[in-house]
Amino acid sequence: MVQIMTYLIENETAALLVPSRLVSQLHPHFREVMQALALQAADEARHIEVFTRRALLKRTELGLSTAGGQTSLKTLVEEPDFAIASFLLSVLGEGTFLSLLWFLDRHAADPVTAAVCRLAAQDEARHVAFGMAHLREHISQDAGILPKLANAVRRRHDVLRNTAGLNAEVFDALLLVASGSWDPSDLRRGHENVMGLLQEMDELRQKRMVHIGFSAAEAQELSALHTRNFM
């Protein structure tokens, strides 16, 4: 759980930095958007706080962070374009994280950890809803942005081509949490659960992309190219 929390903290930090940077670049006319982004940033700061507390509950040190995970988040944090950044972060990244947080709610060994993940997922659902509504509106006004969004996913995939993706410690930690024990039959079931999680993430990413205006074929291609680091 410490390793999973460490991974969540890193990803939540990227999710905090993106809206914080965007809100500083907005024209004051867009006050509702400023409010939504400021609330989003406050949510992420709270997620970082609560996940850090859980990680350090019985330890003095966090788990492992990897160069691949950091490179993936760096491509997200450095994206300058508002529409592309909210597509990568909210529709794809936070959308994928929803499945992860629901998974942790189902499989966490203690009720407090489960509740923390469930409550964070409620916040993420709002961030995803705002990103989707915003992009749907943007795309309805200017369908020419769809190829730009698609190319951003392809470009990011190329940049991350030589990284390992999700770090093995996080994968193993998810497997163990889903198994609940070291018993081989439990581990087999845990592995099936984690494979089911990856499949659910892929299906829901595709659904969200179709919802904002991509064709089913594009959604399938782009979902497969989404970073293996989830966010």
Provide the binding-site residues for Fe ion, judged by CB under 5 A.
12, 15, 44, 47, 94, 124, 127
How many Cβ atoms from other residues are within 10 Å of residue 95's Cβ?
A: 25
CB closer to Fe ion, 127 vs 134 = 127
CB closer to Fe ion, 15 vs 170 = 15
Three-state DSSP at 129 gives helix
The answer to whether the beta carbons of residues 212 and 135 sit under 8 Å apart is yes
Tell the smallest beta-carbon distance from residue 181 to Fe ion (Å). Answer: 29
Tell the smallest beta-carbon distance from residue 25 to Fe ion (Å). Answer: 19
Cβ neighbors of 88 (< 8 A, separation 6 or more) are 76, 79, 152, 153, 156
CB closer to Fe ion, 98 vs 146 = 98
Tell the smallest beta-carbon distance from residue 128 to Fe ion (Å). Answer: 8
CB closer to Fe ion, 127 vs 138 = 127
Token digits of residue 48: 């970082």
Tell the smallest beta-carbon distance from residue 184 to Fe ion (Å). Answer: 35
Q: Where are the alpha helices (DSSP H) in the chain?
A: 2-23, 31-55, 67-77, 82-86, 95-107, 111-141, 145-159, 168-179, 184-212, 216-225
